Structure 1
């Protein structure tokens, strides 16, 4: 029976780690301070407002995670590795930057998609290019918000200035990764 190729070398994350512990300490400290400074009524108002925000965010986050899960099912892993993997070179960064331009949605969509790509073997440089182009260019934001308010000329000039940023960010990450790899020459 033929052996299956090894999965991505991405280490598994634990559910509770140092960043989580630090965040919990900050939240408990802030909550204690509000309780001490403003009293229980204000503390309860803040907790209720935060619960409302959480209730609003949860369906959006679940939808983003569902989209990311479907991407992992619909796109073959070897295709992702070939297009935007460690050996994809400048082509992978350009593909990822182009994908970031057209991906719609907000952070609830892009970050689960980026995490899915990393889990499927995408290079960190390509994922940085994806997120950077989504942040700086974003076709859906340009069509809905920028063009009606600022006009096509402004959007065109902004895109001309912003597109190299995503590619540059990906190239910088690629160079740093190559310097940090064992066996690479400085």
Structure 2
């Protein structure tokens, strides 16, 4: 096997394994196998409905916001403004969690502080405004406020601890990987 084929196989080995496993399920339990493929196809279609608008918005962000502005508001010296902006961007965002990673890549490439990017990801995962409104209606205001405050502190602690644990080499590797991802 050539190096290119081996690299391609290595890259897609999990997908190939899962394809074989689901084909075996389809062979021995046809109803369950059809359900597996039905769910997989629906998930892919849902993802295709979400990602193009996200990529368009990322492209606009990349073109419209220059690096100096991003560094000013989200960079190393942004302070509380960067933190608040990170919380706002993460909470106001729409879409599933997997949509935040290309967004995070653009922010990293534009010179944002890693802790601020981690705050965006954390807020996107746990503090979306529409979900908070649903939570108030179903769980009550007191529960929602307590959980929200815990999320704020949790996201902040995780973001700053992660940033402190990363070495300079780790930061450079993250920046290089994000540049590859956006290209």
Per the normalisation by structure 1, the TM-score is 0.71
Q: 1:61 aligns with which of 13, 30, 51?
A: 51
CA distance in 1, matches of 2:51, 2:111: 23
Partner of 2:71: 81
Partner of 2:82: 92
- Structure 2 runs not aligned, ≥5 long: 172-183
Q: Which has the higher helix share?
A: 2
1:104-133 CA-to-partner distances (Å, cap 9, x unmatched) read 333254333222212222122211111112
Aligned residues: 165
Contact 1:64 1:108 in 2 (8 A): no
Q: Please say if 1:119 is aligned against 2:109.
A: yes
Poorly superposed stretches of 4+, deviation over 3 Å: 18-23, 40-49, 86-91, 177-182
Per the normalisation by structure 2, the TM-score is 0.72
Partner of 2:160: 171
Q: 1:30 aligns with which of 12, 15, 18?
A: 18
RMSD over aligned Cα atoms: 3.3
TM-aligned CA deviation for residue 55 of structure 1: 2.5
CA distance in 2, matches of 1:179, 1:112: 22
CA distance in 2, matches of 1:57, 1:22: 24
- Structure 1 runs not aligned, ≥5 long: 1-15
